[in-house]
Amino acid sequence: NDKFSPSRYNLGLTYVKLQNESMALDSFKQSVAINPEYEKGYIEQARVYNRLGQLSECVKAYNTLIARFPDNISAIMELGSVYYQYGKYEESEKQYKIALGMLSKSEEYTQTAYNLSKVLYDEGKYSESQKYAWIAYDNKDFLINDISQSNIVYNYALVQEKLGKTT
């Protein structure tokens, strides 16, 4: 049904599985053209652009989504990850800080603090990185995955070592 947003969206997901990103992108664009409030279509457009390595289009798609749906924390966090992936640490830092300000203590909060700590570490902002590494460390029990908890402990130790706090 070419007048029903979910059908265009689902078609896009099918094209993603078939590794036809061009047709997937067209389908996701159609889903929001039919219904501009169809949030899922926007985020998938951004994800396709990211997989295609089209940073400017990807960022534009995320910004459109966030402007229309400012409470979409997942989009803000994903944009932070995209910026990090492309080495745009200041922009990544900004997105993660926005997301942290919107989250309550949870698995997402802990993971976002960890991600922000890594960005700040890579920027050489070790003291500020320590703050967020500690937040993640202090909230690691929200994570049920032992590997994720281990990564948080390891990250906190790296930051501490960088600051000369080897004990």
Angle, to 10 degrees, between the axis of helix 126-138 and the axis of helix 107-122? 160
Residue 51: per-residue pLDDT:
97
Contacts within 8 Å (CB) and 24+ apart, 87-93: 89/119, 89/122, 89/123, 90/123, 92/119, 93/119, 93/120, 93/123
Grouped pLDDT means (10 residues each) for the chain, 167 residues: 93 98 98 96 98 96 97 96 96 97 93 96 96 96 91 96 92
Vertex 94, ends 131 and 89: CA angle to 5°?
85
Three-state DSSP class for residue 114:
helix
